[in-house]
C-alpha cells in the first residue's frame, strides 16, 4: 500500500475536529468506526495512540489509555438495569448491544465477564460458559451455511446462534475458530488491494450504485472492516476504486433524527440496529457518534420510545439471517417495482436514497406468539410484496387482517 498523502498537521487537525465533534478525545474503536482515518494510521505516524493524543493536545490526565474517562461501575450497573426494564429480562450481550449505552467490552473489562456484571446488578447469569468445542463448531458451520460464506465476528454478534465471545474464549481468536470449523479466515492482509478493489467494482455493478460498508458486509466477498484496515477508512477504499465517497463524515443531527423517524414510520415500530443497517439511509455509526448509544438516539427521535417499547413486542421479532436473500427474491419476482404505483427500483433509489421495501401483509409479530405457526412462516412469498416507501407507509396504517388458521 502506498504512503498516504496526508501531512502530520492534516492528520492532527482532523483528529482535533473529530474530538471537538465528540466533545472529548475519541477512543481507538471510535476512530476506527467513525473517524476520518483509522487509529493505526496515527499510531504508525506518531508511535502509539497515546502519543497521538499527546501530540494533538488531547491528553486526558486520569483518563483511560484510549482517551475515555473511566465509567463508574454504578453507571454501568444502572444502565444494565435500565435495559433489563426495556427487554423484560436480564439482558444478553446481544440485546445490550442493541439498547445499552456502553460497550459490552467495558463490562468484560470492569467486571471480568458478562455473567459477573449481571450478578453485580442482581441478575442471574445468562452466558453459557461451558460450551464444548463441538457445539460451537457445529453452530458456526450451520450459520455459515445459512449465510453462504464464513461469517464475520460482527455478524455472529448480531445474528449468530451465539455471540463471538464464546469462540474467542475457547479458540483464542475468531480466525482460529473459523480455521477449526474449516472455513475461510477473515484476514486484512491475505488478499491483494487489486482484488479488494475489483470486488468493490463488482458489487457496484451488481447493485447499480456505489456500495455502502453494510452492503459489502452483507453481499460482498469480504467485510467492510478489511477495507478499513487496508485503506485507512471505507471512504478511502472507495476513492482508491475510483468512486465518490458515499458516507458523509458529519451528518447534521436533525438529518439523523428525520431518517430515524421516517424509518420508524415505514416499519411501524422503532427500528433495531439491524433494521437500520438493512433499510436505513445511514449506518448506525453516526448515531453512536452523535448520541452515544442507539437507545439514546431512539429517545431523541421520540421521547415516548421507552413507553412504546414496553407496550409492544414488535422489536423482539428479529429478521432471520436469510432475510436479505428472501427480500431480493421477492423484489425480483415483483419485477423490481412497487406493486401499487409501479415505481421502479432505480427510480426509488434515486428519489429516496434506499431500496424498495418488502412488506409483510400479516406482520411478523402476529406469528411470533402464535403456537400453531413459526415466525418463519411470515416470510413465505404469499405474505410478501414489494412497495415503494409512500405506498408502504399508507399500507402500514391500514387495519391488519387476523391470522387465519
**Each residue's pLDDT tens digit, 142-157:** 888 887 778 877 678 7
**Each residue's pLDDT tens digit, 284-322:** 777 877 887 777 888 888 776 655 554 444 444 455 657
pLDDT of amino acid 334: 92
Give the span between the Cα atoms of 244 and 222, in whole angstroms.
Answer: 20
Q: How confident is the model at residue 254 (pLDDT cuts 50, 70, 90)?
A: confident
pLDDT for residue 131 is more than 50: yes
**Each residue's pLDDT tens digit, 38-73:** 777 788 788 888 888 888 887 654 445 444 566 788
| Mean of pLDDT over the chain | 76
pLDDT for residue 230 is more than 50: yes
For the chain, state the CA radius of gyration: 22
Let me know: does 25 contact 63? Beta carbons within 8 Å. yes
**Domain regions of the chain by residue span:** 73-120, 133-180, 193-240, 253-312, 323-396
**Each residue's pLDDT tens digit, 183-227:** 876 555 567 788 889 988 988 888 777 887 767 766 777 777 678
pLDDT of amino acid 337: 92
pLDDT of amino acid 122: 92
Phi, psi of 337, deg, nearest 5: -155, 155
Helix (H, G, I), strand (E, B) or coil at 320: coil
Q: How confident is the model at residue 4 (pLDDT cuts 50, 70, 90)?
A: very low
pLDDT of amino acid 312: 46
CA 321 to chain CA centroid, Å, is 13
pLDDT of amino acid 246: 58
pLDDT of amino acid 330: 92
pLDDT of amino acid 185: 63
Handedness of CA 269, 271, 275, 281 (dihedral sign): positive
Predicted TM-score (pTM) of the model is 0.43
User: What is the chain's length?
Assistant: 405
Q: How far is CA 19 from CA 128, 289, 300, in A?
A: 38, 11, 22
pLDDT for residue 364 is more than 80: no
Let me know: does 238 contact 245? Beta carbons within 8 Å. yes
pLDDT of amino acid 375: 67
**Among the listed residues 80, 67, 33, the one whose alpha carbon sits nearest the alpha carbon of residue 284:** 33
Amino acid at each position: 500500500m502506498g504512503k498516504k498523502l496526508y501531512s502530520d498537521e492534516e492528520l492532527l487537525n482532523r483528529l482535533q475536529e473529530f474530538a471537538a465533534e465528540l466533545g472529548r478525545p475519541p477512543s481507538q474503536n471510535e476512530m476506527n468506526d467513525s473517524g476520518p482515518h483509522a487509529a493505526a494510521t496515527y499510531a504508525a505516524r506518531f508511535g502509539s495512540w497515546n502519543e497521538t493524543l499527546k501530540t494533538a493536545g488531547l491528553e486526558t490526565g486520569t483518563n483511560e489509555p484510549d482517551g475515555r474517562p473511566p465509567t463508574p461501575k454504578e453507571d454501568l450497573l444502572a444502565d444494565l438495569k435500565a435495559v433489563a426494564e426495556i427487554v423484560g429480562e436480564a439482558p444478553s450481550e446481544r440485546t445490550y448491544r442493541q439498547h445499552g449505552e456502553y460497550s459490552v467490552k467495558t463490562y468484560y473489562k470492569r467486571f471480568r465477564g458478562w455473567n459477573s456484571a449481571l450478578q453485580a446488578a442482581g441478575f442471574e447469569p445468562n452466558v453459557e460458559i461451558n460450551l464444548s468445542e463441538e457445539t460451537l463448531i457445529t453452530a458456526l458451520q450451520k450459520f455459515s451455511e445459512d449465510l453462504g460464506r464464513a461469517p464475520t465476528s460482527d455478524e455472529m454478534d448480531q445474528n449468530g446462534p451465539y455471540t463471538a465471545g464464546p469462540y474467542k474464549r475457547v479458540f483464542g481468536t475468531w480466525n482460529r475458530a473459523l480455521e477449526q470449523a474449516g472455513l475461510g479466515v477473515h484476514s486484512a492482509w491475505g488478499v491483494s488491494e487489486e482484488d479488494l478493489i475489483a470486488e468493490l467494482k463488482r458489487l457496484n455493478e451488481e447493485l447499480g450504485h456505489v456500495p455502502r460498508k453494510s452492503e459489502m458486509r452483507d453481499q460482498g466477498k469480504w467485510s467492510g472492516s478489511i477495507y478499513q484496515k487496508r485503506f485507512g477508512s471505507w471512504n478511502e477504499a472507495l476513492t482508491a476504486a475510483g468512486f465518490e465517497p458515499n458516507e458523509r463524515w458529519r451528518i447534521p443531527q436533525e438529518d439523523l433524527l428525520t431518517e430515524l423517524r421516517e424509518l420508524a414510520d415505514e416499519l411501524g415500530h422503532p427500528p433495531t440496529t439491524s433494521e437500520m443497517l438493512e433499510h436505513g439511509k445511514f449506518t448506525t455509526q453516526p448515531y453512536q457518534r452523535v448520541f452515544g448509544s442507539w437507545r439514546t438516539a431512539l429517545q431523541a427521535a421520540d421521547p415516548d420510545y421507552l413507553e412504546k417499547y414496553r407496550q409492544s413486542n414488535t422489536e423482539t421479532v428479529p429478521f432471520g439471517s436469510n432475510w436479505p436473500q428472501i427480500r431480493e427474491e421477492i423484489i425480483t419476482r415483483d419485477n423490481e417495482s412497487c406493486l401499487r404505483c409501479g415505481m421502479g427500483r432505480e427510480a426509488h433509489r434515486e428519489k429516496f436514497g434506499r431500496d424498495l421495501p418488502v412488506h409483510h401483509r400479516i406482520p411478523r409479530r402476529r406469528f411470533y406468539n402464535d403456537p400453531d405457526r413459526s415466525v418463519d412462516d411470515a416470510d413465505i412469498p404469499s405474505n410478501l410484496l414489494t412497495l415503494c416507501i409512500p405506498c408502504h407507509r399508507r399500507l402500514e396504517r391500514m387495519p391488519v387482517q387476523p391470522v387465519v388458521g
